[in-house]
Amino acid sequence: MSTPFDPTDHPHRRVDPLSGGSVLVSPHRTKRPWQGKQETPANDARPAYDPTCYLCPGNERKGGERNPAYEGTFVFTNDFAALLPDVPDPGPDDDPLLARAGVRGTSQVICFSPRHDLTLAEFDHAGLARVVGLWVERAEALGRDWRWVQIFENKGEAMGASNPHPHGQIWALDALPTLPAAEDAHQRAWLDDHGEPLLVRYEEVERSRGERVVTATTHWTAVVPWWATWPFELLILPRRHVLRLPDLTAAERDDLATLLGRLLPTLDALFDTPFPYSMGWHGAPTGPGFRIEDDHAVHDHWQLHAHVYPPLLRSATVRKFMVGFEMLGEAQRDLTPEQAAERLRAVAP
Protein backbone atom coordinates (compact mmCIF):
# COMPACT_ATOMS: atom_id res chain seq x y z
CA MET A 1 0.00 0.00 0.00
CA SER A 2 1.48 3.37 -0.97
CA THR A 3 2.07 6.05 1.66
CA PRO A 4 -0.67 8.73 1.63
CA PHE A 5 0.45 12.22 0.76
CA ASP A 6 1.10 14.50 3.76
CA PRO A 7 1.39 18.21 2.83
CA THR A 8 3.20 18.89 6.12
CA ASP A 9 5.95 16.36 5.37
CA HIS A 10 6.18 15.57 1.66
CA PRO A 11 7.72 17.80 -1.05
CA HIS A 12 5.26 19.30 -3.52
CA ARG A 13 4.85 22.28 -5.87
CA ARG A 14 2.24 25.00 -5.56
CA VAL A 15 1.10 27.23 -8.42
CA ASP A 16 0.95 31.02 -8.10
CA PRO A 17 -2.14 31.98 -10.12
CA LEU A 18 -1.15 35.66 -10.10
CA SER A 19 2.29 35.32 -11.66
CA GLY A 20 1.93 31.93 -13.32
CA GLY A 21 5.02 30.65 -11.52
CA SER A 22 5.41 27.83 -9.02
CA VAL A 23 7.08 27.32 -5.65
CA LEU A 24 8.68 24.09 -4.41
CA VAL A 25 7.58 23.30 -0.85
CA SER A 26 9.91 20.99 1.14
CA PRO A 27 8.37 20.79 4.63
CA HIS A 28 10.46 17.80 5.72
CA ARG A 29 13.55 20.03 5.67
CA THR A 30 12.42 21.90 8.78
CA LYS A 31 13.65 18.89 10.74
CA ARG A 32 17.29 19.41 9.75
CA PRO A 33 19.75 21.16 12.12
CA TRP A 34 20.62 24.78 11.36
CA GLN A 35 24.31 25.65 11.02
CA GLY A 36 23.98 28.89 9.11
CA LYS A 37 25.09 32.42 9.87
CA GLN A 38 24.23 34.01 13.21
CA GLU A 39 24.51 37.74 13.86
CA THR A 40 24.07 40.11 16.76
CA PRO A 41 21.11 42.44 16.20
CA ALA A 42 22.06 46.09 15.84
CA ASN A 43 20.91 48.57 18.47
CA ASP A 44 17.90 50.24 16.85
CA ALA A 45 17.46 53.04 19.42
CA ARG A 46 16.92 56.35 17.60
CA PRO A 47 16.00 59.88 18.64
CA ALA A 48 12.61 61.39 17.74
CA TYR A 49 14.52 63.99 15.71
CA ASP A 50 17.91 63.49 14.05
CA PRO A 51 19.67 66.65 12.86
CA THR A 52 21.70 64.57 10.38
CA CYS A 53 18.64 62.85 8.81
CA TYR A 54 17.72 64.22 5.38
CA LEU A 55 14.08 63.20 5.89
CA CYS A 56 13.45 64.87 9.25
CA PRO A 57 11.48 68.16 9.28
CA GLY A 58 13.51 71.30 8.54
CA ASN A 59 16.66 69.42 7.53
CA GLU A 60 18.59 69.85 4.30
CA ARG A 61 18.41 66.92 1.87
CA LYS A 62 21.26 65.44 -0.11
CA GLY A 63 20.21 67.36 -3.21
CA GLY A 64 20.39 70.71 -1.41
CA GLU A 65 16.66 71.26 -0.87
CA ARG A 66 15.37 71.88 2.67
CA ASN A 67 12.37 70.03 4.07
CA PRO A 68 9.52 72.10 5.48
CA ALA A 69 8.75 71.80 9.19
CA TYR A 70 6.07 69.23 8.41
CA GLU A 71 3.92 67.85 11.22
CA GLY A 72 2.07 65.02 9.46
CA THR A 73 3.09 63.42 6.17
CA PHE A 74 5.40 64.91 3.54
CA VAL A 75 5.95 64.10 -0.15
CA PHE A 76 8.72 65.26 -2.47
CA THR A 77 10.24 64.25 -5.78
CA ASN A 78 13.24 62.01 -5.18
CA ASP A 79 16.46 64.02 -5.48
CA PHE A 80 18.04 60.99 -7.19
CA ALA A 81 15.02 59.66 -9.05
CA ALA A 82 15.19 56.33 -10.90
CA LEU A 83 12.66 57.66 -13.43
CA LEU A 84 12.52 60.98 -15.27
CA PRO A 85 9.48 62.55 -16.95
CA ASP A 86 11.23 63.79 -20.09
CA VAL A 87 13.91 61.62 -21.71
CA PRO A 88 14.68 60.93 -25.40
CA ASP A 89 13.59 57.65 -26.96
CA PRO A 90 16.64 55.42 -27.50
CA GLY A 91 15.27 53.87 -30.67
CA PRO A 92 15.75 50.19 -31.59
CA ASP A 93 19.13 48.49 -31.66
CA ASP A 94 20.32 46.93 -34.93
CA ASP A 95 20.30 43.47 -33.30
CA PRO A 96 16.88 42.09 -32.20
CA LEU A 97 18.59 40.31 -29.30
CA LEU A 98 19.43 43.72 -27.84
CA ALA A 99 15.88 45.04 -27.62
CA ARG A 100 15.25 48.24 -25.68
CA ALA A 101 12.51 50.81 -25.20
CA GLY A 102 12.29 54.25 -23.69
CA VAL A 103 10.63 54.76 -20.33
CA ARG A 104 9.35 57.92 -18.68
CA GLY A 105 8.08 58.48 -15.20
CA THR A 106 8.68 60.04 -11.82
CA SER A 107 9.88 58.91 -8.40
CA GLN A 108 8.64 60.36 -5.13
CA VAL A 109 9.55 59.92 -1.48
CA ILE A 110 6.70 59.82 1.05
CA CYS A 111 7.54 60.53 4.69
CA PHE A 112 4.99 58.88 6.95
CA SER A 113 5.72 60.95 10.06
CA PRO A 114 8.05 63.68 11.37
CA ARG A 115 9.11 61.21 14.10
CA HIS A 116 12.47 59.67 13.24
CA ASP A 117 12.20 56.93 15.87
CA LEU A 118 9.03 55.15 14.74
CA THR A 119 8.13 52.40 12.28
CA LEU A 120 4.64 51.84 10.87
CA ALA A 121 4.24 49.00 13.37
CA GLU A 122 4.46 51.60 16.16
CA PHE A 123 2.00 54.12 14.69
CA ASP A 124 -1.33 54.66 16.40
CA HIS A 125 -4.55 54.32 14.44
CA ALA A 126 -4.68 58.00 13.52
CA GLY A 127 -1.11 57.86 12.19
CA LEU A 128 -1.84 54.79 10.10
CA ALA A 129 -5.03 56.39 8.78
CA ARG A 130 -2.97 59.38 7.60
CA VAL A 131 -0.61 57.03 5.75
CA VAL A 132 -3.53 55.23 4.09
CA GLY A 133 -4.94 58.62 3.09
CA LEU A 134 -1.59 59.59 1.62
CA TRP A 135 -1.41 56.38 -0.41
CA VAL A 136 -4.91 57.03 -1.76
CA GLU A 137 -4.18 60.65 -2.63
CA ARG A 138 -0.91 59.88 -4.40
CA ALA A 139 -2.40 56.94 -6.32
CA GLU A 140 -5.19 59.17 -7.57
CA ALA A 141 -2.99 62.14 -8.45
CA LEU A 142 -0.26 60.18 -10.23
CA GLY A 143 -2.76 57.85 -11.87
CA ARG A 144 -4.00 60.71 -14.02
CA ASP A 145 -0.67 60.87 -15.84
CA TRP A 146 1.02 57.49 -15.55
CA ARG A 147 -0.01 53.98 -16.57
CA TRP A 148 1.46 52.31 -13.47
CA VAL A 149 1.79 53.78 -9.98
CA GLN A 150 3.90 51.62 -7.66
CA ILE A 151 3.55 52.57 -4.00
CA PHE A 152 5.94 50.69 -1.74
CA GLU A 153 7.96 50.71 1.47
CA ASN A 154 11.32 49.10 2.17
CA LYS A 155 11.73 48.69 5.92
CA GLY A 156 15.09 47.89 7.48
CA GLU A 157 18.67 47.55 6.33
CA ALA A 158 18.02 43.94 5.27
CA MET A 159 15.71 45.29 2.56
CA GLY A 160 18.07 48.02 1.43
CA ALA A 161 16.51 50.95 3.30
CA SER A 162 19.19 53.63 3.37
CA ASN A 163 17.46 55.69 6.07
CA PRO A 164 15.53 54.40 9.12
CA HIS A 165 13.16 57.40 9.12
CA PRO A 166 9.64 56.01 8.43
CA HIS A 167 9.13 56.55 4.72
CA GLY A 168 8.15 54.88 1.48
CA GLN A 169 8.46 55.54 -2.22
CA ILE A 170 6.32 55.84 -5.33
CA TRP A 171 7.60 55.04 -8.80
CA ALA A 172 5.17 55.98 -11.57
CA LEU A 173 5.86 55.14 -15.20
CA ASP A 174 4.32 55.01 -18.67
CA ALA A 175 4.36 51.20 -19.02
CA LEU A 176 3.39 48.13 -17.00
CA PRO A 177 6.43 46.61 -15.25
CA THR A 178 7.07 42.90 -15.66
CA LEU A 179 5.32 41.58 -12.53
CA PRO A 180 2.17 43.73 -12.78
CA ALA A 181 1.96 42.80 -16.47
CA ALA A 182 1.98 39.11 -15.51
CA GLU A 183 -0.70 39.75 -12.86
CA ASP A 184 -2.77 41.64 -15.42
CA ALA A 185 -2.61 38.75 -17.91
CA HIS A 186 -3.36 36.01 -15.37
CA GLN A 187 -6.22 37.88 -13.71
CA ARG A 188 -7.75 38.57 -17.12
CA ALA A 189 -7.44 34.92 -18.14
CA TRP A 190 -9.02 33.77 -14.87
CA LEU A 191 -12.01 36.08 -15.31
CA ASP A 192 -12.46 34.88 -18.90
CA ASP A 193 -12.35 31.23 -17.82
CA HIS A 194 -14.25 31.39 -14.53
CA GLY A 195 -16.48 34.46 -14.74
CA GLU A 196 -15.25 36.04 -11.50
CA PRO A 197 -12.15 38.00 -10.44
CA LEU A 198 -9.32 35.73 -9.29
CA LEU A 199 -8.47 37.49 -6.03
CA VAL A 200 -12.09 38.10 -5.09
CA ARG A 201 -12.61 34.34 -5.24
CA TYR A 202 -9.29 33.66 -3.54
CA GLU A 203 -10.17 35.87 -0.55
CA GLU A 204 -13.43 33.98 -0.14
CA VAL A 205 -11.59 30.64 -0.19
CA GLU A 206 -9.01 31.76 2.37
CA ARG A 207 -11.54 33.30 4.74
CA SER A 208 -13.70 30.18 4.62
CA ARG A 209 -10.78 27.80 5.25
CA GLY A 210 -8.96 29.97 7.76
CA GLU A 211 -5.70 28.01 7.97
CA ARG A 212 -3.61 30.66 6.20
CA VAL A 213 -5.44 33.72 7.57
CA VAL A 214 -3.27 35.78 9.92
CA THR A 215 -5.80 38.48 10.75
CA ALA A 216 -9.09 39.72 9.36
CA THR A 217 -11.27 42.78 9.90
CA THR A 218 -14.67 43.84 8.64
CA HIS A 219 -13.35 44.86 5.21
CA TRP A 220 -9.90 43.21 4.90
CA THR A 221 -8.17 39.84 5.10
CA ALA A 222 -4.42 39.22 5.51
CA VAL A 223 -3.10 35.77 4.65
CA VAL A 224 0.12 33.88 4.08
CA PRO A 225 -0.77 33.01 0.48
CA TRP A 226 -0.98 29.41 -0.72
CA TRP A 227 1.93 30.11 -3.09
CA ALA A 228 4.08 32.17 -0.66
CA THR A 229 7.80 32.27 -1.50
CA TRP A 230 9.19 34.13 1.51
CA PRO A 231 8.80 32.37 4.89
CA PHE A 232 6.27 34.83 6.34
CA GLU A 233 5.05 36.46 3.14
CA LEU A 234 1.66 38.17 3.36
CA LEU A 235 -1.11 39.13 0.96
CA ILE A 236 -3.58 41.86 2.00
CA LEU A 237 -6.97 41.72 0.27
CA PRO A 238 -10.20 43.73 0.49
CA ARG A 239 -13.37 41.69 0.91
CA ARG A 240 -15.23 43.76 -1.69
CA HIS A 241 -14.30 43.92 -5.38
CA VAL A 242 -12.10 47.05 -5.51
CA LEU A 243 -9.88 48.03 -8.42
CA ARG A 244 -7.60 50.67 -6.87
CA LEU A 245 -6.78 52.50 -3.66
CA PRO A 246 -8.85 55.60 -4.61
CA ASP A 247 -11.91 53.35 -4.99
CA LEU A 248 -11.92 52.48 -1.28
CA THR A 249 -14.77 53.85 0.81
CA ALA A 250 -14.06 55.91 3.92
CA ALA A 251 -14.95 52.88 6.05
CA GLU A 252 -12.59 50.63 4.10
CA ARG A 253 -9.74 53.12 4.43
CA ASP A 254 -10.22 53.40 8.18
CA ASP A 255 -10.50 49.62 8.49
CA LEU A 256 -7.25 49.19 6.52
CA ALA A 257 -5.53 51.27 9.21
CA THR A 258 -7.03 48.88 11.76
CA LEU A 259 -5.70 45.85 9.90
CA LEU A 260 -2.21 47.33 9.56
CA GLY A 261 -2.29 48.20 13.25
CA ARG A 262 -2.70 44.49 14.00
CA LEU A 263 -0.62 42.95 11.24
CA LEU A 264 2.63 44.92 11.41
CA PRO A 265 3.09 44.54 15.20
CA THR A 266 2.46 40.81 14.72
CA LEU A 267 5.48 40.59 12.43
CA ASP A 268 7.59 42.44 15.00
CA ALA A 269 6.40 40.11 17.76
CA LEU A 270 7.43 36.94 15.89
CA PHE A 271 11.17 37.35 16.52
CA ASP A 272 10.96 40.26 18.98
CA THR A 273 12.57 42.64 16.49
CA PRO A 274 11.50 45.32 14.01
CA PHE A 275 10.75 42.91 11.15
CA PRO A 276 12.23 44.13 7.84
CA TYR A 277 10.10 43.84 4.72
CA SER A 278 9.21 45.22 1.32
CA MET A 279 5.51 46.06 1.07
CA GLY A 280 3.68 47.44 -1.94
CA TRP A 281 0.27 47.94 -3.54
CA HIS A 282 -0.94 46.55 -6.85
CA GLY A 283 -4.11 47.88 -8.46
CA ALA A 284 -5.59 48.25 -11.91
CA PRO A 285 -3.59 50.39 -14.38
CA THR A 286 -4.65 53.97 -15.15
CA GLY A 287 -2.91 56.64 -17.21
CA PRO A 288 -3.77 59.29 -19.81
CA GLY A 289 -7.09 58.69 -21.51
CA PHE A 290 -8.41 56.70 -18.54
CA ARG A 291 -12.18 57.14 -18.10
CA ILE A 292 -13.90 55.99 -14.94
CA GLU A 293 -17.09 55.10 -16.87
CA ASP A 294 -15.11 52.55 -18.92
CA ASP A 295 -13.25 51.17 -15.93
CA HIS A 296 -15.08 47.95 -15.14
CA ALA A 297 -15.40 47.05 -18.79
CA VAL A 298 -11.63 47.31 -19.19
CA HIS A 299 -10.25 46.33 -15.78
CA ASP A 300 -12.92 44.19 -14.11
CA HIS A 301 -10.41 41.33 -13.81
CA TRP A 302 -8.29 43.36 -11.39
CA GLN A 303 -8.51 43.31 -7.60
CA LEU A 304 -6.58 45.71 -5.38
CA HIS A 305 -4.05 43.95 -3.13
CA ALA A 306 -0.82 44.48 -1.22
CA HIS A 307 2.19 42.17 -1.11
CA VAL A 308 4.39 42.03 2.01
CA TYR A 309 7.75 40.30 1.57
CA PRO A 310 9.60 39.84 4.91
CA PRO A 311 12.99 38.06 4.61
CA LEU A 312 13.56 36.73 8.15
CA LEU A 313 13.50 32.94 8.44
CA ARG A 314 14.38 31.58 11.91
CA SER A 315 15.19 34.52 14.18
CA ALA A 316 15.94 38.22 14.27
CA THR A 317 19.34 37.51 12.70
CA VAL A 318 18.73 34.60 10.33
CA ARG A 319 17.14 35.43 6.99
CA LYS A 320 16.08 33.55 3.90
CA PHE A 321 18.37 33.92 0.88
CA MET A 322 17.30 33.21 -2.68
CA VAL A 323 20.30 31.22 -3.94
CA GLY A 324 21.16 28.01 -5.76
CA PHE A 325 18.03 26.23 -6.97
CA GLU A 326 15.93 29.35 -6.36
CA MET A 327 18.08 31.43 -8.72
CA LEU A 328 18.47 28.66 -11.29
CA GLY A 329 15.20 26.74 -11.02
CA GLU A 330 12.26 28.17 -9.07
CA ALA A 331 11.36 29.49 -5.64
CA GLN A 332 11.57 27.03 -2.73
CA ARG A 333 10.46 27.09 0.90
CA ASP A 334 10.66 24.68 3.85
CA LEU A 335 8.11 26.05 6.34
CA THR A 336 4.65 25.63 4.83
CA PRO A 337 2.40 28.70 4.45
CA GLU A 338 -0.04 27.08 6.87
CA GLN A 339 2.68 26.67 9.52
CA ALA A 340 3.82 30.26 8.97
CA ALA A 341 0.29 31.61 9.42
CA GLU A 342 -0.15 29.54 12.59
CA ARG A 343 3.05 30.96 14.07
CA LEU A 344 1.98 34.52 13.25
CA ARG A 345 -1.47 34.03 14.77
CA ALA A 346 0.16 32.66 17.92
CA VAL A 347 2.13 35.87 18.55
CA ALA A 348 -0.48 38.41 17.42
CA PRO A 349 -0.61 41.23 19.98
- Mind telling me the catalytic residues? 167
How far apart (Å, rounded) are the C-alpha atoms in residues 46 and 60? 19
On whether the CB atoms of residues 109 and 78 are closer than 8 A, the answer is: yes
CB atoms within 10 A of CB 84: 11
Within 8 A by CB and 6+ apart from 184, the residues are: 176, 285, 301, 302
Closest to 132 measured CA to CA, from 287, 248, 11: 248
Distance CA 228, CA 320 (A): 13
- Residue pair 81/106 in contact by the 8 Å Cβ criterion: yes
As beta bridge partners, residue 169 has 109, 152
Sign (positive/negative) of CA torsion 131, 136, 141, 142?
positive
CA pair distance 296, 69, nearest whole angstrom: 42
